[in-house]
Amino acid sequence: MIQNDEQLREAQFDVQKLWRILEEARQAHAARDYEILATPHLQRLRERQQEILEYLSTTSDETAFA
């Protein structure tokens, strides 16, 4: 769970890194190999994006008391 803006920036960096990994893997691997390789990365991407959305859905007052 993201609790502050520093952790938000780290999560955003993680998302960008995952996107790059997936983009490069999609070009470098056959479809079946990509599917196997991408599955855990896609799950992690979804999780990190959800964490970002949840954090951004709160106000700074709410996070100050978390």
CA atoms of 49 and 18, how far apart (whole Å): 11
Where along the chain do its domains lie?
5-60
Q: Which two tokens stand for residue 43?
A: 């799950």
pLDDT average per 10 residues of sequence, the chain (66 residues): 96 98 97 97 98 93 59
pLDDT of residue 60: 73
pLDDT of residue 65: 53
DSSP secondary structure of 9-43? HHHHHHHHHHHHHHHHHHHHS-HHHHHHHHHHHHH
